[in-house]
């Protein structure tokens, strides 16, 4: 009769054996060590300094030291104040606590479970987080997923290409997007080899929204491509055939449908005309809208046109001689918030049929206070500063042909007001604007990104950038001319009143 069990080598009781409890307890100790085997670590080469009773370690060091000497490949158990080795057999499993990893004993030694699962071949079903079935032999229920390329450092190419294949052109190869397990969109090769994008409403079948012709590469935003056309563009927008009298002969249109009819609501076109003609419309990019006249058919109204010379017309399709032409009111979207122009970007000339209107509503002002004696004296003195001058920039361009202007300078007005003990910048007709310096910028050539051997970006790509001259810090003085003239008028009135008083009745 053997003295130990064949698998775990546990001691057996012999007939008539004295002190059977010793052998029995030794067998129980072995069972306690080997059943549900969980080892604290597998990477130590010597026993820990302060082990606890029953601790087990998988000794994988080829030359362990101390009390573990000679236990390489075995399970070291601390029991009754000493270490003992348990020789494993192929098929034993050990859970390594510090790694949360399962290891298996093989004829070649201990290996991790991940290594034993390095290859899975010819699986018929695989479910991740859910149950796969005959209709869905691969099923996954998760919130995120990652596919990443094998880098060159790992022996790969750094590329990642996912290949999907169908048997023949008449079959379907697609990605189907669902909401609550109901199809809403589909991208792929649906019954042919053209790439299509389809969408579906809450009820009803799929509608084709985009098709890319496999032979020509043309894109159709409406439906199947027609026969090949000579010189057809890479992208062809849906065309309005002008059956409703619209101005669009081709381009992008926004349409509505109802009661079996369709009509154009808005459009974007490169060329336009009436009933397919182009007379009167030399080209450019035009934006059209349907007037809210209560009828579905009817002529579209052009709201903007970019002319062939880069001019922009708003509300007008007539050829433009200016960069911006507007047939309508120009207004800011917020009241009394923004300026028209800046101190460094001024208009040269403003043409108007009448003068500018400034707010002068008594309900929006404090009561009008009379000018003080000092203010009247300053107004009279300012009137004496009025003379003629020419702009230096105009002299540089035109020489003696530069025109003469009538006025005075803000610097003299500031000095005169200050001489009268007044704060010049407390008055709205004295303006001073300043701006900070802007450093010049050199041109930057475009540069591709530098990619490392492992596919990571070492130096990012740089986009091309034009040079900019920069700008020095500066300031510019100006008048609110309407207020200055009223200030001068009060001085004239005081001077006139004084003359009348001196002349007598």
Q: What is the pLDDT of residues 368-404, one digit of tens each?
A: 999 999 999 999 999 999 999 999 999 999 999 999 9
Domain membership of residue 432 (yes or no) is yes
Secondary structure (3-state) at 27: helix
Average pLDDT over residues 134-144: 94
Domain that holds residue 54: 36-116
Residues 247, 376: one domain?
no
Domain membership of residue 175 (yes or no) is yes
What's the order of all strands across the beta sheet hosting 285-289?
Answer: 252-258, 261-269, 285-289, 301-306, 312-314, 324-326
Kindly state the tokens that stand for 8: 């775990």
- 15 pLDDT tier (thresholds 50, 70, 90): low
Helices (H) and strands (E) in the chain, counts: 6, 27
For residue 414, give the CATH number of its domain. 1.10.10.10
Cβ atoms 267, 248 nearer than 8 A: yes
Residues 404, 428: one domain?
yes
Residues 217, 250: one domain?
no
Q: Give me the number of domains the chain comprises.
A: 4
Cβ atoms 167, 178 nearer than 8 A: no
Q: Is 188 exposed, middle or buried (0-12, 13-18, 19+ CB in 10 A)?
A: middle
Please tell me the least confidently modeled range out of 167-181, 345-359, 420-434, 454-468: 454-468
Please tell me the least confidently modeled range out of 10-24, 94-108, 427-441: 10-24
209 pLDDT exceeds 60? Answer: yes
What is the model's pLDDT at position 250?
A: 52
Domain membership of residue 143 (yes or no) is no
Cβ atoms 322, 310 nearer than 8 A: no
CA nearest neighbour of 91 among 103, 101, 99, 100: 103
Mean pLDDT, the chain, integer = 80
At which residue do the structure tokens 């060091």 appear? 61
Residues 388, 496: one domain?
yes
Residues 89, 197: one domain?
no
Residues 431, 375: one domain?
yes
Domain membership of residue 135 (yes or no) is no
Residues 484, 422: one domain?
yes
Residues 314, 201: one domain?
no
Question: From CA 284, how far away is CA 310, in angstroms rounded?
Answer: 8
What is the model's pLDDT at position 243?
A: 42
Residues 175, 96: one domain?
no
Q: What are phi and psi of 343, to 5 degrees?
A: -60, -30
Q: Is 33 exposed, middle or buried (0-12, 13-18, 19+ CB in 10 A)?
A: buried
What is the model's pLDDT at position 201?
A: 82
- 93 pLDDT tier (thresholds 50, 70, 90): confident
- Tally the residues of the chain: 505
Residues 410, 492: one domain?
yes
pLDDT (tens digit per residue) in 301-331? 778 877 767 778 887 655 556 677 787 888 8
223 pLDDT exceeds 70? Answer: no
Domain membership of residue 10 (yes or no) is no
Residues 178, 47: one domain?
no
Domain membership of residue 234 (yes or no) is no
DSSP result, 261-308: EEEEEEEEESSB-STT--TT---SEEEEE---SS-SSS--EEEEEE-T
Domain membership of residue 21 (yes or no) is no
Domain membership of residue 189 (yes or no) is yes
Kindly state the tokens that stand for 227: 């026969």
Question: From CA 460, how far away is CA 451, in angstroms rounded?
Answer: 8
Residues 369, 493: one domain?
yes
Q: What are phi and psi of 374, to 5 degrees?
A: -65, -40
Cβ atoms 451, 457 nearer than 8 A: yes
Question: From CA 265, how far away is CA 295, in angstroms rounded?
Answer: 11
Contacts made by residues 263-270, CB under 8 angstroms, sequence distance 24+: 263/290, 263/296, 263/297, 264/240, 264/288, 264/290, 264/300, 265/289, 265/290, 266/290, 266/300, 267/240, 267/300
């Amino acid at each position: 009769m053997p003295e130990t069990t064949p698998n775990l080598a546990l001691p057996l009781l012999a007939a008539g054996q004295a002190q059977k409890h010793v052998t029995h307890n030794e067998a129980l100790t072995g069972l306690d060590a080997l059943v549900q085997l969980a080892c604290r670590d597998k990477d130590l080469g010597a026993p820990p300094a302060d082990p606890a009773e029953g601790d087990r370690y998988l000794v994988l060091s080829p030359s362990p030291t101390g009390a573990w000497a000679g236990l390489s490949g075995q399970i070291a158990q601390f029991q009754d104040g000493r270490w003992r080795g348990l020789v494993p057999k192929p098929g034993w499993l050990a859970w390594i606590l510090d790694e949360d990893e399962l290891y298996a004993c093989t004829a070649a030694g201990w290996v991790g479970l991940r290594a034993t699962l390095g290859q899975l071949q010819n699986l018929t079903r695989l479910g991740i987080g859910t149950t796969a079935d005959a209709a869905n032999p691969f099923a996954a229920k998760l919130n995120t997923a990652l596919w990443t390329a094998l880098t060159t450092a790992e022996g790969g190419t750094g590329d990642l290409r996912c290949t999907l294949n169908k048997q023949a052109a008449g079959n379907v190869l697609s990605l189907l997007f669902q909401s609550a397990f109901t199809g809403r969109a589909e991208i792929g090769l649906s019954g042919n080899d053209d790439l299509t994008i389809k969408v579906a409403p809450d009820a009803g079948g799929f509608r084709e929204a985009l098709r890319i012709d496999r032979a020509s590469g043309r894109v159709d935003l409406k439906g199947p491509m027609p026969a090949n056309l000579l010189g057809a563009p890479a992208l062809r927008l849906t065309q309005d055939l002008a059956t409703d009298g619209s101005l669009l002969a081709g381009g992008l249109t926004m349409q509505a449908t109802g009661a079996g009819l369709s009509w154009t609501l808005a459009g974007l076109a490169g060329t336009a005309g009436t009933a397919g003609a182009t007379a009167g419309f030399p080209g450019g990019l035009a934006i059209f809208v349907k007037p809210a006249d209560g009828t579905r058919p009817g002529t579209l109204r052009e709201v903007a046109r970019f002319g062939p010379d880069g001019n922009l017309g708003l509300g007008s399709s007539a050829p433009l001689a200016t960069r911006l032409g507007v047939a309508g009111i120009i207004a800011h979207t917020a009241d009394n918030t923004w300026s028209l122009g800046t101190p460094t970007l001024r208009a040269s000339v403003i043409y108007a049929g009448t003068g500018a209107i400034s707010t002068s509503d008594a309900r929006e002002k404090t009561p009008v206070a009379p000018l003080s004696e000092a203010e009247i004296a300053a107004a009279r003195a300012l009137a004496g500063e009025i003379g003629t001058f020419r702009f230096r920039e105009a002299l540089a361009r035109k020489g003696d042909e530069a025109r003469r202007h009538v006025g005075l300078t803000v610097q003299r007005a500031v000095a005169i007001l200050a001489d009268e003990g007044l704060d010049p910048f407390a008055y709205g007709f004295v303006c001073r604007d300043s701006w900070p310096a802007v450093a010049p910028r050199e041109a930057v050539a475009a540069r591709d990104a530098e990619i490392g051997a492992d596919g990571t970006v070492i130096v990012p790509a740089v986009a091309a950038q034009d040079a900019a001259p920069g700008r020095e810090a500066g300031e510019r003085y100006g008048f609110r001319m309407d207020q200055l003239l009223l200030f001068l008028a009060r001085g004239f009135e005081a001077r006139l009143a004084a003359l009348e008083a001196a002349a007598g009745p």
